[in-house]
Amino acid sequence: MALVVWLSLGSASLTCHLLASWLGLTRTPNGFLGVYRRVGPDTGPQTLCLGSSLLISAVRWSKVQDFLGQGIETWAIGGSSPDVWEVWQQHRPSDSVTIVGISMYDLNEMHLADDRATVVPLSRTIQDLLESKANSALSHRVLTQYALRYVRFLFPTAGMSDRVQVELRRKIAESTGHQNSLTSHEGVVFEPPPPVLEGAESTASIADWSTARLLRRTEVMREENRSRHDFFHGPKYEALHRIMLRAREQGRVILVVLPVSDAYKQAFLGQSDISAFERAIDELRAIVPDAMLVRLDQLSGISDPSHFVDLVHLNSAGRDIATPAFLTRVSEGESQLRLAHSANEWATPDK
């Protein structure tokens, strides 16, 4: 009986490993931090970009790099959030500029990155759960990720049913020559291969989605965030405040507030959620009063479905609106900083 059990477990484990490898779900060779991405020169002053794929898809980073005149670097894992970004920041203590991108989606404590436990130390997580007074349900979900991390050594597809189905459909579409029709059924955001830091070009939008597809993707996201938004009671809240404090010590800070689609707002957000998010932004500004605030979420018409490739990621049309607005706001902010610096110099006694 023991032999039968071990053979069954062994064959199941081997099958999972083969499936994960075929679908590309195995760990990347870049290490536990995720996939390293960058744009611009890799020598001289650098800008650290801290954000999820929402930030990467929001602007054209080659243009931002040209404007800043220095390289921009980051890492990437699926669904990353502040508790993950903090670890990235700790590995780049010398970067002179920090861009932090937040949204109602990735700041929500109810939404957890699948690979979070691979990046964030367990001790840090336990401390943050206690200090943030996270409820027992969230604590259980977060801590279970660490147990699942070890289960995946034997069964790498454990807990990845949606990702497995998505990748299976992609493989089948590629083998049958139906890649072009795949985007009409999936909510997958594609990016250029690493180390390029840039969002993929796409003219697809959720405005063209069928009612059934919109409903399917909405329900998947509803399951991810447990139909709730909480911006204060969890590890993300604690980590983001530490990120802002450390970024202030390292140099300039640019805080970017990213838009989500009207479809997302209608499905998940009430007025109390919006008010809570604004309060969270006010707290961040209080930590770093001189941080440059860029409200891309307040651009006229930016949340229109035609600007989003899915419920939360901007497509090429949305990026064409957000990029010049981002550069204009940063330019204005730098001009204000120069004026303030000049005023301070003339206000000193020797002037």
One DSSP character per residue, 268-336 reads H--HHHHHHHHHHHHHHHHHSTTPEEEEGGGSTTTTSGGGBSSSS-B-HHHHHHHHHHHHHHHHHHHHH
What average pLDDT does range 254-280 have in this prediction? Answer: 97
Q: What are the b/e assignments for 94-106, b being 16+ CB within 10 Å?
A: ebebbbbbbbbbb
CB 92 within 8 A of CB 295: no
What average pLDDT does range 103-112 have in this prediction? Answer: 96
Query: What percentage of residues in the chain have a pLDDT greater than 90?
Result: 66
> pLDDT band for position 264 (50/70/90)?
very high
Q: Is the pLDDT of residue 350 over 90?
A: no
CB 127 within 8 A of CB 139: no
Q: Could you read off the pLDDT of 220-256 as tens digits, one per residue? A: 899 989 999 999 999 999 999 999 999 999 999 999 9
Neighbour tally for 36: CB within 10 Å: 16
Q: Is the pLDDT of residue 301 over 70?
A: yes
Boundaries of domain holding 287 = 2-347
Among 69, 102, 74, which residue's Cα sits nearest to residue 327?
69
Q: Return d(Cα 255, Cα 241) in angstroms, integer.
A: 12
> pLDDT band for position 28 (50/70/90)?
very low
Q: Return d(Cα 99, Cα 103) in angstroms, integer.
A: 13
Residue 304's pLDDT is 98
User: 308 by DSSP, 3-state: which?
Assistant: strand
- Tell me the backbone φ, ψ of residue 252, rounded to 5 degrees: -70, 150
Residue 154's pLDDT is 83
Q: Which long-range contacts (CB under 8 A, 24 or more apart) does 5-8 make?
A: none
Among 292, 299, 305, which residue's Cα sits nearest to residue 338?
292
> pLDDT band for position 308 (50/70/90)?
very high
> pLDDT band for position 68 (50/70/90)?
very high
Query: What percentage of residues in the chain have a pLDDT greater than 70?
Result: 90
CA distances for 269 relative to 116, 209, 339, angstroms: 25, 21, 40
Angle at 224 between CA 164 and CA 244, to 5 degrees: 115
Task: Kindly report the length of the chain.
Answer: 351
Residue 349's pLDDT is 58
Residue 21's pLDDT is 80
Residue 343's pLDDT is 54
Angle at 288 between CA 335 and CA 85, to 5 degrees: 105
Residue 307's pLDDT is 98
Q: Return d(Cα 154, Cα 212) in angstroms, integer.
A: 36
Q: Return d(Cα 293, Cα 288) in angstroms, integer.
A: 10
Neighbour tally for 219: CB within 10 Å: 11
Mean pLDDT of the chain: 88
> pLDDT band for position 169 (50/70/90)?
confident
For residue 201, the 8-state DSSP code is: P
What would the DSSP string read from start to end of 222-264? HHHHTT---SSSSHHHHHHHHHHHHHHHHSEEEEEEPP--HHH
Question: Which tokens belong to 28?
Answer: 């990347």
Q: Is the pLDDT of residue 87 over 80?
A: yes
- Tell me the backbone φ, ψ of residue 154, rounded to 5 degrees: -95, -40
Q: Is the pLDDT of residue 348 over 90?
A: no
pTM of the model: 0.87
Q: Could you read off the pLDDT of 122-159 as tens digits, one per residue? A: 999 999 999 999 999 999 999 999 999 888 878 787 77
Q: Return d(Cα 80, Cα 111) in angstroms, integer.
A: 10
Q: Could you read off the pLDDT of 180-235 as tens digits, one per residue? A: 555 555 555 667 888 999 998 999 999 999 999 999 899 989 998 999 999 999 99
Cα-Cα-Cα-Cα dihedral sign, residues 327, 331, 334, 340: negative
Residue 100's pLDDT is 98
Q: Is the pLDDT of residue 29 over 50?
A: no
Question: What is the tally of structural domains in the chain?
Answer: 1
Q: Return d(Cα 47, Cα 262) in angstroms, integer.
A: 31
Question: Which tokens belong to 134?
Answer: 């996270």
Q: Is the pLDDT of residue 344 over 70?
A: no
CB 270 within 8 A of CB 137: no
What would the DSSP string read from start to end of 30-81? T-TT-EEEEES-SSSSEEEEE--HHHHTTS-HHHHHHHHTSEEEEEE-TT--
